[in-house]
Structure 1
Amino acid sequence: MLNVFFTCTGFINRHVIKLLVGVICFSAWFGYYYPGVGQRLQPFSPACLFVMLYPMMIGLEFGELRQALAKLKVITLAIGVNFTISPLLAYFLAKTFLNAYPDFAVGLILIGTVPCAGMVITWTGMSRGSIPVALLVTTFSYLIGIFLIPLWMTLLAGKYVPIDPLQMMQTVITIIVLPMVLGTITRFFLLKKYGWDLFRQIKPNFPALASLGMYVLFFISLSAQAQQLIKHPDYLLKLVIPALFFYPLLFTLSAGLSRLLSLDYQDMAAVSFSIAGKNLAISLAIAVLFFSPLTVVVVAIMPLVQVIFMASYYKLSHRIQTLWSQLPRKQ
């Protein structure tokens, strides 16, 4: 039975984006012909949100936080860009390209405001970047995001739709802190009962479990809005154009600032993925709970563009590492 479980989760982890595209297409088709199902399933959205976030929180290594003192400059750079330049860039692009579409503008600003996702640790590792740095940035970003997500959304997205910052902060605390606490407790008992060896075997399966909640939530959200999307294919073009500016600018900015601080390739790669790898689960949770279905559509489309750039970085990582090592570094 355990082998079957590992096989299924391994398949999901290897094909997470292909499955996401399949879910999006199926949801659009299903929602077009059966438009009432998505609305009737929406009360189950909070349960799906929990399934998305809880498994990822089990794998967070809080004991690694003590390493932050040795990498303070790198951590500060990544978190600083994540919670200052990234939201402002998203707002500028939303105002430039989506000003006539408030729901879309809010979605883009939300993507720019949320912290990095746990998947950046995987991308960083595959690209031979510093995994401890990516881990630390991810962990700190979750905690800082509790306060800064409501602040930025009120200041920037509040220009398009009314936002209650206190209610949003309460929601973000519930979204992040509750799964984090329960995940930490679960991790403690797993380690106590089974030890590190078995925990390391099952840890890679947590993202797959989180993906299942994400797929169901996508189905509920998109099927409820499928008819409007299919009748307006121009929506896709309007969303892709700012996305094609957003991610290259974040990657370029992270590399430029890393260069100014004379970071080595490992730290630069971790910073780049931590800045550009936005958290789909948190943005989707906030979009579903606070904003219109059209805002959820933005959150659904942007990760597909995001993963293209992250995969491209990974494919070019050997060349990037070689070029980075050849650049003269400040003493």
Structure 2
Amino acid sequence: MGGFERFLTVWVALGIAAGVALGLVMPAAFEWIAAMEYAQVNLVVAVFIWVMIYPMMIQIDWAAVKDVRNKPQGLMLTLVVNWLIKPFTMAALGVLFFEYLFAPWVDPASASEYIAGMILLGVAPCTAMVFVWSQLVKGDANYTLVQVSINDLVMVVAFAPIAAFLLGVTNVSVPWETLLLSTVLYVVLPLIAGVLTRSFLQRQSNLAVSNFVAALKPWSIVGLIATVVLLFGFQAQTIIDKPLVIGLIAIPLVLQTYGIFFLSWWGAKLMKLPHDIAGPACLIGTSNFFELAVAVAISLFGLHSGAALATVVGVLVEVPVMLSLVAMVNAWRPAQK
């Protein structure tokens, strides 16, 4: 990692502080940016995420993607964790904390909505940011693309039934525009751009691809920090107005994230997955598709509901927690022989 990347946690912390401060000082500017959305997907955030993902897409070697089928264990691990374990542990933690441990501080109606928001986060594994986490842990770019694609396909058929079952309702309306637009913006378009760029560079020289990716890496980190600034700026007033509620919601979300990661990591070690497969396989389930969760929470419970707030808290805690997990994965990398 370069010097700039080594202090990534510091830059993100400064981004969080800057986002909250700017959101309080210039609320109108952030409201204007927040209004630039389509199908619950903020287009400015989408651009910054695109900047983060594009360098990794260039590294994908289509000639090697077919070899992923010879490594099915990683795909099995992520599918089992994401769809058979994670949604149910999230629901269980929500009930434990908000119906029992936090009952003295939260009224029952609000508690139910917070639990609902947590469930929606638990049923939406990551689509976009996992490319960033995979790049930071030097994960296999080809495998990461395949696992994201398969999880997106499963999400199309599994999100609504699992969410409906855990929420106890039968009329969960999946915002298909959000799901499809996010997939196009965060996977399809940067993938096409990456393929075209790689093809062009390979015609120049063998080192052109690696040199170009190395030149883009700092911009990828800048995209991450800019995304953090925007996300925290959007919610600056909420952070100031409801610090206790945000703290209460964050506790089970953080426990869920670390718990799912360590369960996945244990499974990866049991299955003897190579490090560049184990990293992205474990991180996809610990990160969330927050656009989808927020959109469904708003459509089901309303913009100012406790469920919507819980999904937003999921956004706020994700980046710092995921960076700590990235650091763990890198620290546990086997020594080079």
| Normalised TM-score (structure 2) | 0.72
1:1-331, aligned counterparts within 5 Å? 10=2, 12-42=4-34, 43=36, 45-53=42-50, 54-55=53-54, 56-97=56-97, 100=111, 102=113, 105-106=116-117, 109-110=120-121, 113-115=124-126, 117-122=130-135, 124-125=137-138, 131=139, 134-157=140-163, 159=167, 163-175=173-185, 176-192=187-203, 194-258=204-268, 260-261=270-271, 263=272, 267=274, 270-271=277-278, 273-277=280-284, 283-286=289-292, 294=309, 295-315=311-331
Q: Contact 2:78 / 2:282 at 8 angstroms: preserved in 1?
A: yes
Q: Contact 1:91 / 1:108 at 8 angstroms: preserved in 2?
A: yes
CA deviation digits over 1:242-291, x for unaligned, max 9? 23422332243234434554x2xx526732552235586x7355467665
Overall identity of the aligned pairs, in %: 17
Q: Contact 1:59 / 1:206 at 8 angstroms: preserved in 2?
A: no
Q: Contact 2:4 / 2:218 at 8 angstroms: preserved in 1?
A: yes
Q: More displaced, 21-30 or 266-275?
A: 266-275
**Shift in Å, 1:40:** 0.9
CA deviation digits over 1:179-199, x for unaligned, max 9? 22222222222323x333021
In the alignment of these two chains, the number of paired residues is 299
Q: Contact 2:49 / 2:223 at 8 angstroms: preserved in 1?
A: yes
1:10–1:255 CA distance, 2 compared to 1 (3 A): closer
Q: Contact 1:17 / 1:304 at 8 angstroms: preserved in 2?
A: yes
Task: Tell me, in whole angstroms, the C-alpha distance in 1 between the residues paired with 2:265 and 2:279.
Answer: 7
| Normalised TM-score (structure 1) | 0.73
Q: Over aligned residues, Cα RMSD in angstroms? A: 3.6
Is there any run of 5+ residues in structure 1 with no aligned partner, and where? Answer: 1-8, 126-130, 322-331
